[in-house]
């Protein structure tokens, strides 16, 4: 576990993460551990352990689970309502089904804020050990009608869903088990989200907690009613053990579990069920892996793009790994390339000539003209780099090496020339502007550092640190400007 207050590059070592929320410019996540440890990050790439919610579990909560050691907390989840954060957390002991989910609230997540204080709100749901239920692994969701729900349960009895009071965060009908929506013989670590008329139930199948031998995988079903029945793509109900595969072990990442949709409270109102989803930007989800074989087989957090199929099923996207790619316009289906026209190409273009596919009046011509303005003698050598779009011919100048630069940014470098894609650092973004793309050796300036955000339909937004987004330009060129969510501004990033 990382020391408190020390930033660490890379995703944190956590197990059973909560929903990841963005608030006041930082990401926040809670996890299983002593007192419910939690972490924050400015960019989703460098994380700081902020501390724990409790030094000791509140007495009223511990009294309901006397076998617990008084400090261990399992599988928390968090939601913001009524101007406060509501943290739901499980208290149990290994091998016991006498368990509770309890609630704590806080107006802020920042321990440095003078208003920071966790308040115990008591037990929300419980199991006695004789129920058809083990009351752990809470997942909390606000529906489109403002009603609040909690799903919970784990490998003993059923996964249940119970309505909560959105004012208090506590159960509307204390002691009631709630509706069974999945069999726990096949499921645990449940979570609910709502999208376009459907409730989606995510659960984990198979075993956890065995390191690289863990068999966790995430399954999903959907229903028109929050109480079910939830069915998979083949029509099998999750109460019968159904569930379509959402994510399984792959490459070095073993045992994905504890799905959560990343919620951005900086972008959407806390009362909006769609806050942080695709209507505000690229949608993402979080999971942990039971083992990351590149990081000592430890359990690690991850955040990835959440995509959706045309028939309304969630699809697990993946972040761009370091490598060489094509960058293809969604509008024209042409590939981004760099060309090197002769020096003084702008002069020739202004005379009406065409040079190596650069048309007069095009964005590519404008880029060449911008360079010539600063170098009218043409002493830059045999030509300057120009970005344009054309059909893919497997040429090296049509391939781009994408590599992380830290803090969630990437550099994009042409495989043939070594020039980095960028924006002139003194360029100003205006409405409907078409800022020329610059191509020169990578220097780490802001205009050469890029966010890569994948939208639910699979398209990528390529947005640099200064705020401009790559777009299809006029006359076959490429340009930069304000992002609009259309195919002019979206790209496919694919293997050559």
CA pair distance 187, 156, nearest whole angstrom: 9
Distance between CA atoms of 88 and 260, rounded to whole angstroms? 14
Q: Please choose, from the candidates 73, 118, 132, 80, the residue with its C-alpha nearest in 3D space to the C-alpha of residue 100.
A: 73
Give the integer Cα–Cα distance in Å for 195 and 276.
Answer: 12
| Residue 285, token pair as written in the block | 């989800």
The CA–CA distances, whole Å, from 467 to 283, 437, 446 equal: 19, 13, 9
Q: CA 462, CA 453: separation in Å to the nearest integer?
A: 7
Tell me, yes or no, if 16 is annotated catalytic. Answer: yes
Rounded to whole angstroms, the Cα distance separating 496 from 485 reads 25
Phi, psi of 237 (to 5 degrees): -75, 150
> Annotated catalytic residue: which of 16, 137, 283, 302?
16
Give catalytic status of residue 188 as yes or no. Answer: yes
Question: What gap in Å lies between CA 312 and CA 244, rounded to an integer?
Answer: 13
Do residues 78 and 19 lie in contact, with contact meaning Cβ atoms separated by under 8 Å? yes
**Considering 137, 163, 186, 188, which one is annotated as catalytic?**
188
Cα 365 to Cα 363: distance, rounded to the nearest angstrom? 5
Type and span of the H or E element at 371: helix 363-374
| Contacts of residue 138, Cβ cutoff 8 Å, sequence gap at least 6 | 75, 76, 77, 88, 89, 90, 101, 124, 125, 150, 151, 152
Q: How far apart are CA 207 and CA 177, in angstroms?
A: 25
Structural element, H or E, at residue 354: none
- Interior angle at CA 139, CA 50 and CA 198, nearest 5: 130
* Percentages (nearest 5) of helix, strand, coil residues in the chain: 10, 45, 50
**How far apart are alpha carbons 180 and 158 in whole angstroms?**
6
CA dist., res. 279 & res. 269, Å (int): 12
| Enzyme catalytic residues | 16, 188
């Amino acid at each position: 576990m990382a020391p408190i207050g020390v930033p660490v590059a890379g995703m944190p070592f956590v197990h059973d993460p909560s929903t990841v929320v963005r608030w006041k410019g930082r990401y926040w996540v809670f996890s299983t551990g002593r007192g419910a440890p939690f972490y924050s990050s400015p960019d989703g790439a460098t994380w700081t352990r902020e501390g724990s919610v409790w030094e000791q579990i509140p007495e009223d909560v511990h009294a309901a689970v006397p076998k617990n050691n008084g400090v261990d907390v399992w599988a928390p989840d968090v939601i913001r309502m009524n101007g406060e954060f509501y943290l739901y957390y499980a208290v149990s002991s290994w091998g016991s089904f006498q368990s509770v989910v309890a609630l704590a609230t806080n107006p802020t997540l920042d321990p440095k804020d003078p208003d920071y204080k966790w308040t115990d709100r008591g037990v929300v749901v419980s199991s006695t050990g004789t129920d058809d239920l083990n009351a752990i692994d809470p997942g909390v969701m606000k529906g489109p009608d403002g009603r609040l729900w909690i799903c919970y349960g784990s490998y003993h009895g059923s996964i249940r869903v119970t309505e909560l009071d959105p004012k208090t965060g506590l159960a509307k009908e204390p002691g009631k088990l709630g509706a069974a929506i999945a069999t726990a013989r096949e499921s645990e670590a449940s979570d609910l989200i709502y999208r376009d008329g459907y409730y989606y139930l995510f659960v984990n199948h198979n075993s956890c907690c065995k390191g690289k031998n863990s068999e966790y995988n995430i399954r999903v079903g959907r229903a028109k009613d929050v109480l079910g029945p939830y069915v998979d793509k083949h029509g099998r109900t999750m109460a019968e053990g159904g569930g379509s595969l959402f994510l399984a072990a792959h490459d070095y990442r073993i045992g994905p579990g504890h799905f959560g949709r990343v919620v951005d409270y900086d972008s959407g109102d806390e009362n909006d069920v769609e806050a942080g989803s695709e209507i505000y930007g690229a949608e993402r989800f979080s999971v942990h892996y039971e083992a990351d074989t590149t990081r000592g087989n430890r359990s690690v957090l991850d955040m990835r793009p959440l995509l959706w199929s045309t028939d309304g099923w969630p699809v697990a996207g993946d972040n761009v790994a370091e490598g060489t790619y094509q960058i293809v316009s969604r509008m024209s289906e042409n590939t981004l390339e760099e060309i090197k026209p002769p020096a003084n190409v702008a002069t020739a273009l202004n005379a009406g000539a065409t040079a190596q596919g650069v048309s007069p009046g095009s964005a590519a011509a404008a880029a060449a003209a911008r360079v010539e303005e600063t170098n009218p003698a043409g002493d830059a050598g045999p030509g300057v780099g120009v970005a344009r779009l054309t059909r893919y011919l497997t040429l090296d100048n049509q391939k781009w090496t994408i590599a992380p630069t830290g803090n969630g940014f990437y550099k994009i470098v042409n495989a043939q020339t070594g020039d980095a894609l960028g924006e002139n650092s003194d360029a100003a973004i205006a409405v409907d502007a078409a800022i020329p793309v610059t191509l020169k050796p990578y220097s780490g300036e802001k205009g050469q550092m890029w966010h890569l955000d994948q939208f639910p339909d699979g398209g990528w937004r390529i947005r640099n640190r200064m705020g401009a987004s790559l777009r299809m330009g006029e006359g076959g060129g490429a340009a930069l400007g304000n992002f609009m969510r259309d195919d002019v501004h979206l790209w496919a990033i694919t293997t050559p």
